């Protein structure tokens, strides 16, 4: 019954692989880079910032608008001239007295309704540096958005490496567990035959059965881990059917020292670029706040498009141009304190950048040490793996000759399995640490070079 159940598990696992779509790491990374929602959102953030930057370029252009109005008065606007006629009637000069009858009592200036429209233009000539500061801020915001996208790309790459090679690791661990269960199943069959022949006691056969049961449980756990890891990778790649990685785990003994990674990290890391962009924005805010103390100069013009036929309409000039100036005396916005706050932001960014450089240095050193440790562990376990495999062969031969116990055979097999799993885990930790190191230093495009150039495949 145990053997049948073990065979069913193997058949299920094989069916998963048959239905899976094979994909290498380079293709997987291309798909993630094109489809990942978080990266697409960061791209939209860059486009948003670029649009705002383009909008800021128009601040030097004149503003042109058309204004119009229609007004209805309770009565027409008039100039009272009745007093002039009265004075002329009282003059001793007969000629002037005769003119009094010609002067109306009132002269209309507007009709009871008044309509007017004009074309207006204002061109800033001097703004105290506000426009340049606004454009500098928008440019820095584009740099920040682009750096955020770069940082998200590196983090997504690291996550893909963990998911992709996590599937490779779990598959190989599952295969190792299956091999162990297969070997212990053969050992149980030998134990049953020897018990039937009276060469070993029943307890030896029972111990062989218990060892096989434990191995099958571990194989089932490994199968579940493999299915979960493959599901996570499939979801990350946005695939409908299950995926099967084809790029193997690997190690590379020709890794250089930590210095190149450290230098490149402190120069090109997006986190530092983000802080640089924030510093430029803070400097722009200093200029914006300081400019509020400075005068503004602008050119303006007006062209009369339409006015009614009233006296006021006839008196309005057809066009006019001029120069305007605005000199701030007292501001209610607390301009001085805004300058202080903006300068404080600059100092804050400087301090954060120094802290980030320190944190990045620690991260690179730590990641490099973890990568080196994983590589050393993988290489050091080679002799243990060879010894454990040879021990299994010797224990099995000795058991058949009655010179070894079931427990010794099982212990040798389980030890060989644990060494193999430990070595596979070491290679996975190496790949994961290498990916993080390349991600931090900005060399993710060189990741596959470590496999293709002097790389050692782990199988």
According to the model, what pLDDT value does residue 96 have? Answer: 53
Query: Looking at residues 108-118, what average pLDDT do you find?
Result: 78
Query: Looking at residues 190-197, what average pLDDT do you find?
Result: 90
pLDDT at 4 over 50: no
* Sequence-distant contacts of 48-55: CB under 8 A, at least 24 apart: 48/145, 49/138, 49/141, 49/142, 49/144, 49/145, 49/146, 50/142, 50/145, 52/138, 52/141, 53/135, 53/138, 53/139, 53/141, 53/142, 55/138
Q: In which band, very low, low, confident or very high, does the pLDDT at 69 lie, cut at 50, 70 and 90? A: confident
According to the model, what pLDDT value does residue 164 have? Answer: 98
d(C-alpha 345, C-alpha 359), whole Å: 21
CATH 1.20.1600.10 occupies which residues in the chain? 2-35+128-293+348-458
Give the tokens for residue 198: 């009276």
According to the model, what pLDDT value does residue 1 have? Answer: 42
Q: In which band, very low, low, confident or very high, does the pLDDT at 244 lie, cut at 50, 70 and 90? A: very high
Query: Looking at residues 360-382, what average pLDDT do you find?
Result: 96
Q: In which band, very low, low, confident or very high, does the pLDDT at 112 lie, cut at 50, 70 and 90? A: confident
pLDDT at 14 over 80: no
Nearest to 432 by CA among 378, 371, 381: 371
- Tell how far CA 96 is from the center of its chain: 90
Query: Looking at residues 312-330, what average pLDDT do you find?
Result: 82
According to the model, what pLDDT value does residue 24 have? Answer: 95
pTM across the whole model: 0.82
According to the model, what pLDDT value does residue 442 have? Answer: 93
Q: How far is CA 103 from CA 75, 85, 93, 312, in A?
A: 21, 6, 16, 19
According to the model, what pLDDT value does residue 237 have? Answer: 95
Query: Looking at residues 240-267, what average pLDDT do you find?
Result: 92
Q: What share of the chain is helix, strand, coil (3-state, %, to 5)?
A: 70, 15, 15
pLDDT at 352 over 70: yes
Task: Mention the CATH class of domain 2-35+128-293+348-458.
Answer: mainly alpha
- The more confidently predicted of residues 309 and 205 is 205
52-70 b/e (C-beta count within 10 Å ≥ 16 → b):
bbeebeeeeeeeeeeeeee
**pLDDT tens column, 399-453:** 888 888 888 999 999 999 999 999 999 999 999 999 999 999 999 999 999 999 9
According to the model, what pLDDT value does residue 77 have? Answer: 73
Query: Looking at residues 178-192, what average pLDDT do you find?
Result: 93
Query: Looking at residues 247-254, what average pLDDT do you find?
Result: 94
Spatial neighbors of 390 by CB under 8 A, at least 6 apart, are none
Mean pLDDT of the chain: 87
Give yes or no for a contact between 184 and 215, defined as CB atoms under 8 angstroms apart: yes
pLDDT at 92 over 80: no
According to the model, what pLDDT value does residue 104 have? Answer: 63
**pLDDT tens column, 218-233:** 999 999 999 999 999 9
- The more confidently predicted of residues 169 and 84 is 169
């Amino acid at each position: 019954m145990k053997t049948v159940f073990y065979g069913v598990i193997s058949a299920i696992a094989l069916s998963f692989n048959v239905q899976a779509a094979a994909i290498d790491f380079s293709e997987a990374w291309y798909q993630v880079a094109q489809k990942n929602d978080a990266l697409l959102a960061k791209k939209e953030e860059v486009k948003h910032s670029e649009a705002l930057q383009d909008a800021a370029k128009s601040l030097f252009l004149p503003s042109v608008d058309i204004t119009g109005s229609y007004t209805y008065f309770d009565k027409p606007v008039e100039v009272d001239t009745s007093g002039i006629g009265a004075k002329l009637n009282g003059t001793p000069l007969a000629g002037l007295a005769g003119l009094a009858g010609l002067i109306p009592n009132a002269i209309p200036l507007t009709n009871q309704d008044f309509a007017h429209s004009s074309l207006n233009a204002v061109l800033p000539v001097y703004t105290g540096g506000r426009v340049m500061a606004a454009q500098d801020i928008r440019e820095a915001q584009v740099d920040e958005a682009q750096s955020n996208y770069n940082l998200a790309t590196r983090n997504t790459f690291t996550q893909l490496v963990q998911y992709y090679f996590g599937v490779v690791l779990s598959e190989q661990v599952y295969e190792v567990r299956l091999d162990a269960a297969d070997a212990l199943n053969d050992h149980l069959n030998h134990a049953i035959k020897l018990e039937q022949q009276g060469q070993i006691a029943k307890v030896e056969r029972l111990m062989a059965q218990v060892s096989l049961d434990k191995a099958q449980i571990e194989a089932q756990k490994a199968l579940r881990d493999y299915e979960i890891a493959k599901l996570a990778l499939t979801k990350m790649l946005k695939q409908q059917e299950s995926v099967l990685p084809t790029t193997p785990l690997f190690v590379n003994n020709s890794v250089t020292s930590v210095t190149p990674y450290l230098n490149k990290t402190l120069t090109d890391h997006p986190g530092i670029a983000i802080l640089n962009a924030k510093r430029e924005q803070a400097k722009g805010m200093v200029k914006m706040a300081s400019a509020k103390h400075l005068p503004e100069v602008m050119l303006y013009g007006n062209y009369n498009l339409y006015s009614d036929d009233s006296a006021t309409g006839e008196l309005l000039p057809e066009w006019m141009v001029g120069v305007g100036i605005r000199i701030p005396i007292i501001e209610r916005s607390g301009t001085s304190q805004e300058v202080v706050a903006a300068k404080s932001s600059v100092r804050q960014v400087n301090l954060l950048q120094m802290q980030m450089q320190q944190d990045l240095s620690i991260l690179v050193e730590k990641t490099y040490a973890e990568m080196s440790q994983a590589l050393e562990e993988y290489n050091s376990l080679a002799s243990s793996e060879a010894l454990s495999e040879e021990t299994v062969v010797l224990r099995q031969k000795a058991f058949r000759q009655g010179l070894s116990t079931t427990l010794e055979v099982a212990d040798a097999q389980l030890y060989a399995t644990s060494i193999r799993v430990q070595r596979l885990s070491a290679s996975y930790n190496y790949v994961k640490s290498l990916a993080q190191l390349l991600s931090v230093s900005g060399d993710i495009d060189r990741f596959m070079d470590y496999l293709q150039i002097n790389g050692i495949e782990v199988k």
